[in-house]
Structure 1
Amino acid sequence: MENIKQIIEQLGLETSLSLEEIPQIDLYMDQVIQLFENKFTETKRNEDDKILTKTMINNYAKGKLIFPIHNKKYSKEHLILISLIYQLKGALSINDIKATLAGINQKIITEQIELDSFYQSYLNLTHQNVKDFKDDVKDRVRGVQEEISVNQKENSPYLEQVLMISSLVHMSNLYRKVAEKLVDQITEEKEAKRHK
């Protein structure tokens, strides 16, 4: 698994849409798609994958994952929300994303949030997460190699890869389950407020 460092470098984990890269003017849908395609193209698994499509954006709008669009143009706030959705959809369902972002959408509409500051906090955490992730992967590689040397009769690169894949997916599932429980808390708190 000597190539794990190379794999990680190819993933573009540090890629994010910074506040400076978000235009101060409202954009049409095609411009939004182009912005995201240009920024996140290196993160695609396959060359044919689409980062963002008209259908996706329309579904976000229809599903109320983003607050209403005016004059077919997307504001800086819309772009921040779309960036968050882009990251969240890798692990959460559309309904969970809607529940997660509903309060933020409402705070944007009522002007009760400093969205730039919130988004910068999110970006700061993602940068720290990437650093922590790289350290964790090194630890996982060591753990897999120890398991192979201690508990397997044959030292097979294939078995090593399968154990590494399984370990990474298991960790991913653990994090996703905690995130889902936090979404459930948001939903339960919202229901409790409605019934008061």
Structure 2
Amino acid sequence: MTRINEILKTSRFDNQITTEDIPNLDLYMDQVIQLFERTFKDSKRSEKDKIITKTMINNYAKGNLLFPSKNKRYSKEHVMLISLIYELKGILTIQDIKRTLSHINQQSSEGTFDVEGFYESYLKLATQNVTTFESELDHHIENVKKQVEEMEEEEYVQQVLAILTFINMSNIYRKAAEKLIDSISEPSTN
């Protein structure tokens, strides 16, 4: 179990683009990509992994996952929304992301939604979630340890059970999120 603890304790679960990280001027796509690469480089599984690409951002725009950019430049609000999409795309389908963010995008494009205030709230919750995860981690590991005390290949079995436990928790949260997404009504188009 020591190996699992070492791996997880040295992992960074708190990588986020803060509002202070985003300049108060519009960015070109390459600058947006650089910001994401810089911020999330430690969360890559492999050095060759891409955090975000031009194609991804273009697909988000074409799929109406974020409101249109102006003159191929992305505002602070765009970057915050792209950050939320980045977070959501690890679990949700593009259609679920679109539905989740549809009201925010519509109101943002109309200038009637405080994206920065909303994003700040998200960042606070994300920080609390990391703290909760870290405090529950030992509990989950201890439960796994109890299940495998008498098994052969104890370390390997513990790792696999820990993986399954984390995936199970992730699936529970994903299913709960999907139920909430299904309850969101489509924005009205006036």
Is TM (by shorter chain) over 0.5? Answer: yes
Partner of 1:5: 5
- Report the TM-score when normalising by structure 1: 0.91
Stretches of structure 1 that go unaligned for 5 or more consecutive residues are: none
Q: In the TM superposition, what is the alpha-carbon distance from 1:153 to its structure 2 partner?
A: 4.3
Alpha-carbon distance between aligned partners in 1 of 2:180 and 2:27, rounded to the nearest angstrom: 33
Please name the residue that 1:41 is paired with: 41
Deviation of residue 155 (structure 1)?
6.1
Match of 2:128 in 1: 128
Q: 2:154 aligns with which of 153, 156, 177?
A: 156
Comparing 135-144 with 2-11, which one deviates more in the overlay? Answer: 2-11
Larger deviation, residues 57-66 vs 106-115: 106-115
1:61 offset after TM fit, Å? 0.5
Change (3 A) 1:121 1:39: same
* Residue aligning to 2:164: 166
Deviation at 1:60, TM superposition (A): 0.4
Identify the match of residue 190 of structure 1 among 167, 183, 186.
186
Give the C-alpha shift of residue 9 in structure 1.
Answer: 3.9
- Partner amino acid for 2:158? E
Q: Deviations over 1:39-93 (max 9, x none)?
A: 1101111111000101000000000001011101001110000000111111111
Structure 2 unaligned regions, length at least 5: none
1:47-196 matches, cutoff 5 A: 47-149=47-149, 152-154=150-152, 156-186=154-184, 189-190=185-186
Moved beyond 6 Å, runs of 4+? none
Please state how far the C-alpha of 1:11 moved relative to its aligned partner. Answer: 3.0
Q: Which has the higher helix share?
A: 1
Tell me the distance in 2 between the aligned counterparts of 1:7 and 1:72: 41
% same residue: 50
| 1:24 partnered with 2:7 | no
Tell me how large the CA RMSD over aligned residues is. 1.6
Q: Secondary structure at the match of 1:21?
A: coil
SS at match of 1:19: coil
- Distance, in Å, in 1 between the alignment partners of 2:186 and 2:57 is 26
Whichever residue aligns with residue 125 of structure 2, its letter is: L
The alignment of Structure 1 onto Structure 2 pairs a total of residues equal to 189
Instruction: List per-residue Cα deviations over 1:143-179 (Å, max 9, x = no partner).
Output: 0111112xx4436211111111111111111110001
Greater mean deviation of Cα atoms: 152-161 or 169-178:
152-161
Q: Name the CA distance, whole Å, in 1 between partners of 2:23 and 2:49.
A: 25
Inter-partner Cα distance in structure 2 for 1:141 and 1:8: 11
Structure 2 distance, partners of 1:158, 1:9, is 18
